A = this chain, B = another copy of it.
Amino acid sequence: MHDQREQPIRIFIVDDHPVVVAGLTSMLGTQSGMVVAGYASGGEEAVEMLRSRAVDLLLLDLRMPGMNGVDTLHALSRANIHIRTIILTSYETDEDIYRAVQAGAQGYLLKDALQADMVDAIWTVHAGKRYFPRHVAERLAERMTRSELTARELEVLHMLARGLTNKEIGAALDISGNTVRNHVNSIIEKLEVSDRTEAATSAIHRGIIEADH
């Protein structure tokens, strides 16, 4: 088993759902070798609190209003605060996972995880290793094989998903409709889909764009 003679792992929780904060506190607070050192309901608040608080491990929600998980990781990095981090989220889109790893997360947990898995993940990451559930790792691998969309293609993708025609997108971006068509064709090719409609739904599914407009 784990060595519990040492100092307990000080865990900090960042999540905008009060019920999740309460749940984690309740699940981890009773674990020997771990202690919940505090929590924040948003990224800004978390960065501020972590300046002056000694913490060993961060449990970080990915999707939050305002500053999201990835933004928070970058902000912490800029503030020269380095804490091993496990992303804790309901979503497992390719893009979410990819961005989280890019931003420096060492672990990725889904919110439907069992208490035992959470505890395991925390011990693993605290020990300096990485923790990714199998299907999460698979999605990450799949994402790696795909080429990135360019900034322009992303703009076009967003407008296309809102039902604009190439001509309308061109007018909005002040470029020709022919150019938009070229971008759309690249998008279709890169996402490996058959038409603009599937490009839109697939982008939502993969987490490249949001469903809400």
Contact = CB atoms under 8 A, between A and B. Distances in A.
Interface in A198-213: 198-202, 204-205, 211-213
A151 interface: no
Nearest to A30: B22
Nearest to A111: B17
Contacts of A199: 163
Contacts of A113: 18-19
Contacts of A194: 163-164
Nearest to A203: B201
A197 to B, nearest CB: 4
Contact of A27 (B16, B19, B90, B204): B19
A162 B201 contact: yes
Contact of A20 (B20, B161, B197): B20
Contacts of A18: 23, 27, 112-115
A178 interface: no
A81 interface: no
A86 interface: no
Interface of A: 16-27, 90, 111-115, 118, 160-165, 193-202, 204-205, 211-213
